Amino acid sequence: MRRTNPGVVYCSISDFGSGPGADLPGYNVLVQAVGGLMSITGQAGGPPTKVGVALVDVLTSKDPVIEVLAALAARERDGHGQHIEVNLLSNLLAALVNQASADLWTGRAPVRLGNQHPSIAPYETLRCRDGLIAICCGNDGQFRRCVTVLGKPGLADDPRFTTNADRVAHRSDVIAELESPAGRRHRRLLDRTAHRSRVPAGKVGDLADAFALAERLGLAPTVPVGPIMFRRSGIRSATPAPPSPATVLLPAWGEHTEEIRRWFATGRTSRLPHPARTASRA
């Protein structure tokens, strides 16, 4: 392919790379297991748990877009294409950010903490009268406003909770202090009060709640395609991708084989199949 079209940009996606792992079969949940994600997901003391969506697949589909765009920009400068390789395991390890760094720097593998954060407190869920609410206090000012909302302003000056390091060291104490007043309130009322006081908080809801919230915030999370609603891309730009059923409807097997081969051979992009036409035929 490179001999006939030296400017071609080609991307290979595998489970475990093109070296010794080339022949190993894999799936998202398998990579979550062997890649360490399950080891830090779930309740403390409970079994390792997979994330509720194919997160490794999603991450590994997004990163190649960045690399391909970079390769296209490089081709504009030097005229050369390139071969890009990504694999599920490497992408997962790169995405584990602070948890992976903690393992590398300390030599101690992180553990499951449920909804808690390993180095911030309170940064987790609290029990209210009618369910759970997430509270995230990333700095001392947010903690002071949080305890004020909960009717316990003096906790901000308690020597056990003065700084984030203090709160992490006394996590069980601070959560017990916060859940006592939170447990007497309904989530919606506490959520509303927290927002007015600029405390990062919100009820733990389901997907219907999430779409409704995004609508209220003007994020337009869905788009109608005929009689069916689809998820809209989260990207907003001056050149948005047009909403199309092609995002979920696949072309027939081999429908564009010859067109794409001609494109690879010539480097001309003007005759590539149009997603909307593909979807209408599908």
Q: For tokens 């940064």, what's the residue?
A: 123
Answer yes or no: 15 catalytic.
Answer: no
**Residue 226, Cβ neighbours under 10 Å: how many?**
7
Nearest alpha-carbon partner for 243 in 228, 229, 225: 225
Q: What secondary structure letter does DSSP report for 20?
A: T
Check: CB of residue 137 under 8 Å from CB of residue 146: yes
Amino acid at position 37, single letter: L
Q: Which one of the listed residues 23, 57, 130, 209 is annotated catalytic?
A: 57
Check: CB of residue 63 under 8 Å from CB of residue 11: no
Nearest alpha-carbon partner for 273 in 253, 245, 251: 251
The whole-angstrom separation of Cα 126 and Cα 142 is 16
DSSP output for 205-237: --HHHHHHHHHHTT---EEEETTEEEEPPS---
Q: Containing H/E element for 136?
A: strand 131-136
Q: What secondary structure letter does DSSP report for 126?
A: E
> Active-site residues: which are they?
57
